[in-house]
Structure 1
Amino acid sequence: MAASNRDYYEVLGVSRDAGAEEIQRAYRRLARRWHPDLNKEPGAEERFKEISEAYQVLSDPDTRARYDRFGPAWQQAQAREGAASEAAGPFGGGGPFGGAGGRRVYVNTGGSGFGQGGFGAGGFGGADFEDLLGGLFGGAGRGGDGFGRMPGADREAEITLGVEDAYSGGQRRITLNTSGGPRSYEVNIPAGVTDGQRIRLAGQGGTGSGGGPAGDLYLVVRLAPHPRYRVQGRDVTVDLPVSPWEAALGASVPVETPGGPARVELPPGSSSGRRLRLRGRGLPNPRGPAGDLYAEVKIMVPPEPTPDERDLFRRLAEQSRFDPRVHGESKR
């Protein structure tokens, strides 16, 4: 059995109170992804061994109880408790790999594929091994390569979208560099897709073997930086440039949104940094309320004032008692 320093629950990605079915589902999902005959990434075989080891222990009520009690020292505790069972051999009796419990899962200890070396009929050979292949990979027995029907591995790739494309969605043609060279896909982008959201392309992943189905391709969305919009979740923030007199007197101001132009009511006496909310004008949400758009006030002054503008600003400076450095209090 491979030695793992990681917590078995962490390896399978389940909580410590997970039920048997949840543990089995987690194992099947991870095994499909990391099986060394489906996944050629460096380290896939070691990852698969670790996953299988964790499942071996947590799928058996007796060994799981020992692991929950003793942690990484569960095998030593079992050896102390089961001196009598040692006479039956290292894998006999009620031990973690014996034939007396439920179905067992094989841990590949050498080579890139499944094998039966060294375990015998009381361990992982015979019906238990056949049952594993049929139950895990949906097969009906072994094929000529010894594995039966096995689905292809799921794949993952990133795609970059502009904020406007994420807002509107629609059909897009994308090209990805794969191990077999560039490949194009027709993708339906959901309207309102967010950064980090995954889009599933069924059957576009790794090729199955023995007549097994192909895996899926998951496209992870990344939103490209935008010169105008700042996106957080489904909410969008945009700068709202206004003149000093609009900020002071209030105005109806046009604002650009990912869905097109809109107008926002600027209250009198607005300072830079004030955020005005346009409910529902952020990214749409097919399963709930849309995000909001926040227009952030940014007061702008004429870069090159005309003589008349200079005169007006000068007169305002002479007559106004407002001092922004004392937080809007009047001059004394």
Structure 2
Amino acid sequence: MEYKDYYKILGLERNADQAEVKRAYRKLARKYHPDVSSEKDAEERFKEVNEAYEVLKDPEKRAAYDQLGSGFQSGQDFRPPPNWDQGFEFHGGGYTDADSEAFSDFFESLFGRGGFSQGYGGRQRRQYSAQGENTYARIAIDLEDSYRGSSRQITLKHTVLGEDGRPQLQERTLNVKIPKGITEGQQIRLAGQGEAGIGGGKPGDLYLEIIFNSHRLYHTEGPTVYLDLPMAPWEMALGAKVQVPTPSGPLKVTIPANSDNGKKLRLKGRGIPAKQPGDMYIVLQTVTPSATSDAQREAYRQFSKAFDFNPRQSMGS
């Protein structure tokens, strides 16, 4: 996927104010509109201009985009850094006035339907008051927090327009209770912590989407937890009883003899303790020790003589 420099597309400096963003968009939209433009690539340029404006006109999207930094070049191969948008507080609002199907993969990876620009509801207006909008943010927790439940303090960043017309970040700190058994992608609702109401209207709610910090041992799929377990060749062949780490504590596990590399052993109910507890799978991974001494090399030679074994037999070699 290619990185898109939205400021370059609109011909702007990164410190341009919102009025400059609007003027640049209007000028380029007129220039490249397919109905009036004679430019050969007008339709494609018009799409790029609309996409850039969709991000830079929105102080929240713009502030999040700016956090990626200016070290990328247009057309450069790009993947969003892990958890790049963690802690940003967004309002529900979908894709505002733009057509989401016209957006690039780059836009979708940052603000697409799996991300924060997916609307969950909007402002509910009454004659003399308005309820505050709901807001949304992602927070990262440790897998172990889901196993035992925890309380933690989080800092969220939200965007306001400064007096100079440029988006500025402000922070607020909240205490959050992490419920036991929560899985990645689920949300925690904090009632009344969204945007303030207008004219006596009720405040909106804040929804925190949970993601897990990268773990050196485990990865998850829903409530299911996976562990790649290194095994010596003789343990795989002869079987063994080994101590296995799990998020809820170490466990003795019997490894069957003649286990194949990649074999999965199921530990029922040892996954995330949700309402329907997940399972944990141990994935056996053979690790071959290096032969660094004469005795070790001789042991391998004797090992090879003891077996009539060709690992490439299925390849015809």
TM-score range, shorter chain: 0.5 to 0.7
Shift of 1:321: 1.9
| TM-superposed deviation, 1:319 | 2.0
Q: Could you say if the C-alpha distance between residues 272 and 42 of structure 1 is closer, same or farther in structure 2, counting changes exceeding 3 Å?
A: closer
- Shift of the 258–43 alpha-carbon distance from structure 1 to 2, 3 Å rule, reads closer
- Distance change (3 Å), C-alpha of 1:179 and 1:229: same
Query: C-alpha distance in 2, partners of 1:275/1:214?
Result: 49
- 8 Å CA contact 2:154, 2:173 repeated in 1: yes
Over the matched positions of the two proteins, sequence identity in percent amounts to 39
Q: Deviations over 1:26-61 (max 9, x none)?
A: xxxxxxxxxxxxx797975x69xxxxxxxxxxxxxx
Aligned CA distance change for structure 1 residues 203 and 251 (closer, same or farther; 3 Å): same
Higher relative contact order (CA 8 A, sep 6+): 2
Distance 1:282 1:41, change over 3 A: closer
2:224 maps to: 235
Q: Which residue of 2 aligns with 1:294?
A: 281
Which ranges of structure 2 fall in alignment gaps of 5 or more residues?
1-90, 99-123, 161-169
For residues 306 and 260 of structure 1, the distance between their equivalents in structure 2, rounded to whole angstroms, comes to: 37
Q: Equivalent of 2:159, from 179, 182, 193?
A: 179
Structure 1 residues 264 and 40, CA gap change in structure 2 (3 angstroms): closer
Q: TM-score, with normalisation over the residues of structure 1?
A: 0.52
Does structure 2 retain, via aligned residues, the 8 Å contact 1:198–1:219?
yes
- Aligned equivalents of 1:253 and 1:244: distance in 2? 14
Give the corresponding residue for 1:220.
209
Structure 2 residue 185 is matched with structure 1 residue 196: yes
Cα contact 2:92–2:133 (8 A) shared by 1: no
Distance 1:207 1:262, change over 3 A: same
Which one has the largest radius of gyration?
Answer: 1
Match of 1:118 in 2: none
1:247 paired with 2:227, answer no
Q: Which residue of 2 aligns with 1:161?
A: 141
Distance 1:283 1:185, change over 3 A: same
Candidates 142, 146, 151, aligned match of 2:131:
151
Q: Quick one: structure 1 residues 296 and 41, their matched pair in 2 at CA, closer, same or farther if it must change by over 3 Å? A: closer
Structure 2 distance, partners of 1:252, 1:323, is 28
C-alpha root-mean-square deviation of aligned residues, in Å? 2.6
Structure 2 contact 291–297 (Cα < 8 Å) conserved: no
Equivalent residue runs for 1:1-332 within 5 Å:
147-179=127-159, 181-285=170-274, 287-288=275-276, 290-326=277-313
Contact 2:151–2:176 at 8 Å: present in 1 too? yes
State the shift of 1:149 in Å. 3.5
Amino acid at match of 2:304: A
Distance 1:43 1:300 in 2: 49
Partner deviation per Cα, 1:244-286 (whole Å, 9 max, x = no partner): 111110011222222222222110001211111111111110x
Contact 1:153 1:215 in 2 (8 A): yes
Structure having the higher helix fraction is 1
Shift in Å at residue 167 of structure 1? 2.9
**1: CA distance, partners of 2:290 / 2:300:** 13
Q: CA deviation at 1:317?
A: 1.1
Which runs of 4 or more aligned residues in structure 1 lie more than 6 Å from their structure 2 counterparts after TM superposition? 39-43
The match for 2:80 is: none
Partners in 2 of 1:167 and 1:148 — Cα distance? Answer: 46
- Over residues 211-256 of structure 1, what are the superposed CA-to-partner deviations in whole Å (9 max), with x where a residue is unaligned? 2211100011122332321211111111111111111100112222
CA contact (8 A) 1:264 1:278 kept: no
Identify the range of structure 1 (235-244 vs 297-306) with the bigger mean alpha-carbon deviation: 297-306
Going from structure 1 to structure 2, the CA distance change for 1:308 and 1:41 (only over 3 Å counts) comes to same
User: Structure 1 residues 40 and 195, CA, compared in 2 at 3 Å: closer, same or farther?
Assistant: closer
TM-score (norm 2): 0.55
Distance (whole Å) between structure 2 residues aligned to residue 312 and residue 265 of structure 1: 26
How far, CA to CA, are the matches of 1:304 and 1:171 in structure 2?
49
Whether the aligned pair in 1 keeps the contact of 2:146 and 2:182 (CA below 8 Å) is: yes
In structure 1, the partner of 2:104 is none
For the residues of structure 1 that align with 2:206 and 2:245, how far apart are their CA atoms? Answer: 35
